[in-house]
Amino acid sequence: MGMKMTYSSLNSVLQMARPHETRQLLGQWVRLARQRLGLTQPLLASKSGVPVTTLSRLEREGQGGVDTLLRVLQALGELDGFHAYIQELQRKASLPHDLADLKKSAPPRQRVRLRKLTGGSV
């Protein structure tokens, strides 16, 4: 008798992160960083220019926009590290998927700007 593989069981076997769990972790990270610095929510909200209710929701549920997150991270002094992490992800994404593809791939195309010829002999 075979076991039917569902999304839930496959997900637990592969230990894939879910968006909800990742949002929760992000909120916890923000809260811990704030507490480590000894900041209250109202003080961090003031430093970041984010309403206290938005900051509270970000910490509690991980809910909020990208701009909100970036402003809070900047106020916490965490933006540079986050930026470096994103740059590394971007670098990895630009690499070939397989080393064999490296030989096949042509150099990236670059835009060429044509110059206008001015009146005069060349």
DSSP codes, 64-93: --HHHHHHHHHHHT-HHHHHHHHHHHHHHH
Does residue 1 fall inside a structural domain?
no
Q: Which domain holds residue 62?
A: 21-80
Question: pLDDT by residue (tens digit) across 83-105?
Answer: 999 999 999 998 887 766 666 65
Does residue 44 fall inside a structural domain?
yes
Question: pLDDT by residue (tens digit) across 12-51?
Answer: 556 688 999 999 999 999 999 999 999 999 999 999 999 9
In the chain, the number of structural domains is 1
Question: What is the CATH classification number for the domain harbouring 63?
Answer: 1.10.260.40
Does residue 41 fall inside a structural domain?
yes
Does residue 65 fall inside a structural domain?
yes
CA angle 83, 89, 94 (to 5 degrees): 125
Whether 2 has a pLDDT exceeding 90, the answer reads no
**pTM to 2 decimal places:** 0.68
